[in-house]
Amino acid sequence: MMKRRLALLTAAGAAMVAAESAHAQTASVPGRERVVVQISTPDPKMWNQALNYVENLRDLYGADKVEVELVALGHGIGVLKIESTQGPRIADALKLGGVHISACEVTMRRQKLKREDMLPNIGYVPAGLGQIIRRQREDWAYISG
């Protein structure tokens, strides 16, 4: 009888382990995949590619099943300047749900950029690098643009 209880417990334990580790595996994907993309190069080809990533991720997971944050910092800040080659694509991306576009205010100070120098409606983060690190800590996938 005791043995049987132990066996049941063991079985229950195993089921819990299985359930729990299934949870652990999907914990990162709580119904929504979350991805932070770093834009830090001065190359407009790479900026364009980062915007392709936004499209690709939405196609891949479904528009309401993915959250993407583009973080522009350092030499990548140009993607969010008012004269950016990517202006129209940024405007389009900003209309989508689950898309965040964040300019690094540390970079803006270094480059003496003000908000009026930047594309309309974008977001701002105090530190782009800190934002990327925070997203990694929050278990977002990380893609270097």
Q: Is the dihedral of CA 50, 55, 56, 60 positive or negative?
A: positive
Closer to a second copy by Cβ: residue 120 or 134: 134
Closer to a second copy by CB, 6 or 91: give it. 6
Which of the stretches 85-93, 94-102, 114-122, 123-131 binds a second copy when contact is defined by CB under 8 A?
123-131
Strands (E), the chain: 33-39, 66-72, 99-104, 123-125, 141-144
Q: Fill in the per-residue mask, 98 to 117: x = in contact with a second copy (CB under 8 A), - = not in contact.
A: --------x---x-------
The separation between CA 1 and the C-alpha centre of its own chain, rounded to angstroms, equals 53
> Beta partners for 34?
67
Residue found by looking up tokens 């479904």 in the block = 62
Which residue type sits at 110? R
Interface positions with a second copy (CB under 8 A): 2, 5-6, 8-10, 12-26, 28-29, 33, 35, 38, 40-42, 45-46, 49, 52-53, 56-57, 59-61, 74-75, 106, 110, 126-127, 129-130, 132-133, 136-137, 141-145
